[in-house]
Amino acid sequence: MSADPRTTPPTIGRLTAPAAWHTVDLISDLHLQASEQATFEAWRSYMANTPAQAVLMLGDLFEVWVGDDAAVQDPFLQRCAEVLRQTAQRAHVAFMPGNRDFLVGPDFLSACGVQPLTDPTLLTLGQQRILLSHGDALCLDDKPYQAFRLQARNPQWQHAFLAKPLAERQEFARNLRALSESQKHEGMSFADADLEMSLFWLEQAEADQLIHGHTHRPADHALGSAVRHVLSDWSLDHAPLRAQVFRLTRDGDAVGDVGDVDVSDVRYERLDLPRDHF
């Protein structure tokens, strides 16, 4: 595949919010790992207390994932699975893969009651059409990563990788992580979402909002006549402490008189943990 990603129409998943979804939370880039207990505890507490009817996790929930079989043997990942299961009993919980956890499998998700999301997915909430992505596919300037991504998202590559012994898969993940750490230390700046590709995706989805994570640079950017919202990463183990929930709230009465269109409006807010309460 050598097509120009800027002009290649993406396969867009669809998620239509039922009328009962008044509040939809978006989180990403928690990078959950056993060595970062404060971040895990914040996430656990948030998941137990959020009033949202839907929690959409847009990638890199986990720092690393080398196969569902490894998760079964990992006490920390089992605690994470339990949080997902508990939350999924009272809210809609969905997961989009990131660049760290793209190997999370359908078996793990279904065992937790979590819906898999395609990257990108068009969320329809009332009148709003919102395109959701992890964001890594849009960061075209990171050429070595894009080459890796092309390989690693190939089902045959994944099948071969998952067939390797666990120790070999863990070694591979350590090497990848070391590479990304060394790039950070060399001061290489992270690529940002490509403007042209972001606009192309929005046009393909007929959406006017793009929400993604991955870059760890939370902000709200104008993008032509559209808006690009970037989610925060989470860390309550390393300064600067940060953990943010991007909350969409549907205002107004979604059900009008017979024949009325849905005139509800959607607003958003950014809630910071642990300052804000959920």
Element (H, E) at 215: none
Residue nearer to Mn ion on the CB measure, 125 or 245: 245
What residue spans of the chain are helical by DSSP H? 37-49, 68-72, 75-88, 106-112, 143-152, 155-162, 166-185, 195-205
Nearer to Mn ion, 194 or 208 (CB): 194
Q: How far is the CB of 110 from Mn ion (least distance, A)?
A: 23
The angle subtended at Cα 217 by Cα 189 and Cα 199, nearest 5°, is: 90
Residue 216 sits in the site that holds Mn ion (CB under 5 A): no
CB of 149 to Mn ion, least distance (A): 11
- Cβ closer to Mn ion: 25 or 119? 119
Residue in 31, 92, 169, 214 binding Mn ion, rule: CB under 5 A: 214
Q: Is 136 helix (H, G, I), strand (E, B) or coil?
A: helix
Query: Which pair of tokens denotes residue 219?
Result: 């902000």
Q: What is the β-pairing status of strands 209-212 and 128-133? A: parallel
Cβ closer to Mn ion: 23 or 180? 180
| Position with the least CB separation from Mn ion | 214
Report the C-alpha dihedral over residues 202, 208, 209, 214, rounded to 10 degrees.
20
Shortest gap between Cβ of 239 and Mn ion (angstroms)? 20
Q: Least distance (Å) from Mn ion to the CB of residue 146?
A: 13
Tell me whether residue 25 or residue 101 sits nearer to Mn ion (CB atom): 101
Least distance to Mn ion, CB of residue 152, Å: 13
Q: Which residue's CB is nearer to Mn ion, number 126 or number 213?
A: 213
CA-based radius of gyration for the chain: 19
Is the bond preceding residue 18 a cis peptide, omega within 30 degrees?
no
Q: Which of 5, 67, 97, 98 binds Mn ion (CB under 5 A)?
A: 98
Smallest separation, CB 200 to Mn ion (Å): 21
* Cβ neighbours for 99, distance < 8 A, ≥ 6 positions apart: 59, 60, 134, 136, 145, 149, 214
Judged by CB under 5 A, which stretch of 48-56, 90-98, 155-163, 228-236 contacts Mn ion? 90-98
Extract the tokens encoding 42.
């914040």
Minimum distance from CB of 98 to Mn ion (Å)? Answer: 4
- Of 51, 114, 125, the closest CA to residue 81 belongs to 114
Residue 235 engages Mn ion in binding (rule: CB under 5 A): no
Piece of the chain touching Mn ion by CB under 5 A; list 62-70, 95-103, 163-171, 237-245: 95-103
Using CB under 5 A as the binding rule, the residues of this chain from 49 to 88 that contact Mn ion are 60
Identify residue 83 by its one-letter amino acid code: V
Applying CB under 5 A, the span of 37-45, 65-73, 201-209, 211-219 interacting with Mn ion comes to 211-219
| Binding residues for Mn ion (CB under 5 A) | 60, 98-99, 214
